[in-house]
Amino acid sequence: MTLLWLRLAVILYGVAALAVLPAALYNRPRWRHIALPAAFMGAFFHFVSIAETLYAAHRALPVDTHETLSMLGLLLVVGFLILAARYRTVSFGIFLLPIAVLLAIVPAFHPGHEQIAYPLVRTGWILLHIALLLAAYAAMFLSLIASLLYLIQERRLKEKRAESKRGWLPPLETLDQIGVNSLRFGLPCMTAGLLIGSVLALQSIGPAFFADPKVLLSIAMWIAYILMIYIRSNSGLRGRRAVYLSSFVFLVMVAVWAANSLSAVHRFKTP
């Protein structure tokens, strides 16, 4: 049943990802009315699927790599829906919805069976640790997309191309706000997520945990994140430079994610 909900969610994300193209690129309201409900229903079934999975496995968090990626997909779709409601734009869906499909399609059709080793699995704190960090990743990704769209819109305006009144991209200032606000939302999530993780690690593993490459990279990521927010807020960094900076921090994030395979203590599955 769980897989059925997830597969249904993937199909709905796929429909939304296709419908969002004419809705955003050609400004067709009819397609918008398909894309948004499809994404919303997809997110709903996705949530049901994750909740059922966790309940069936008698655990409180997604421990499987695929499950975690799938949860990130859900957060991206939720981000898309929030942006559509707050800023009346579906342009972000062009990028976010296909990624959500990709993130959810693997666990939907090839579910993993990985297990986490230690008993932390059942505490609410570790769930919070994972959820907060995933929210920070999603916020960072949204900020990166906003910076890329800013760059595209800036180019279009500088090249003086005529287009429809509403266009497919939000105004520059809106894109800038989305980028900065996403980062501001992501920072407390990341800080709290890392702090919770550190306290839990200290309790269960001890100080040795902080010598782990994954943990060191995470601290580097946090510093880079803070630096990025500081630079953007103080110098009003926009356009190309903002994209470079966001891309750099995003790469650090990907490295942190990938470091799971290097880590001896922080792993999704039993070695």
Partner 1 sequence: MRDLPIDAAAPPTPHNCKLLLLGVNHTTAPIAVRERLAIPGHRLADATRTLAHQPGIREALILSTCNRVEILTVQDGIDQENAEVRAGLQAPTLSVIKFLHDYLQIRETDLEPHVYEYRERDAIRHLFRVASSLDSMVVGEPQILGQVKQSWTVGREVGAVKTMLDPLLQRAFSVAKKVRTETQIGNTTVSVASVAAELARKIFGSLAGKTVLLVGAGKMSDLTARHLIQQGATTLLVCNRTEARAQVIADALRTPAITTGVIPLDQLMEQAHRADIVITSTGAGQVFTPESARAVLQRRKNRPVFFIDIAVPRDVAPEVNKVDGCFVYDIDDLQQVAMQNKAVRNREAEAAESIVTREVARYSDRISQAPVTESIKELLMGAEEVRHQEMARIIHQLAREPLTPEQLAAVDRLTKSLTGKLLHPQIAALRDMAAERESDD
Chain residues that interact with partner 1, rule: CB under 8 A: 27, 29-30, 153-154, 157-158, 160, 162, 164-167, 170-174, 234-241
Closer residue to partner 1 in complex, CB, 181/191: 181
Closer residue to partner 1 in complex, CB, 88/122: 88
DSSP 266: -
Cα gap 225→216, rounded to integer Å? 14
Minimum CB distance to partner 1, residue 231 (Å): 11
Closer residue to partner 1 in complex, CB, 11/172: 172
Minimum CB distance to partner 1, residue 96 (Å): 21
Minimum CB distance to partner 1, residue 29 (Å): 6
Ramachandran region, residue 60 (left: φ > 0; alpha: ψ -120 to 50; beta: rest): alpha
Minimum CB distance to partner 1, residue 187 (Å): 20
Closer residue to partner 1 in complex, CB, 28/266: 28
Minimum CB distance to partner 1, residue 247 (Å): 17
Closer residue to partner 1 in complex, CB, 98/167: 167
Helices H, strands E: what count in the chain? 8, 0
Token pair listed for 60: 């409180």
Best CA proximity match to 119, nearest among 59, 180, 199: 59
Find all residues with CB under 8 Å of 150, minimum gap 6, and list them: 172, 175, 176, 179, 238, 239, 242, 243
DSSP 265: S
Best CA proximity match to 49, nearest among 23, 22, 70, 77: 70
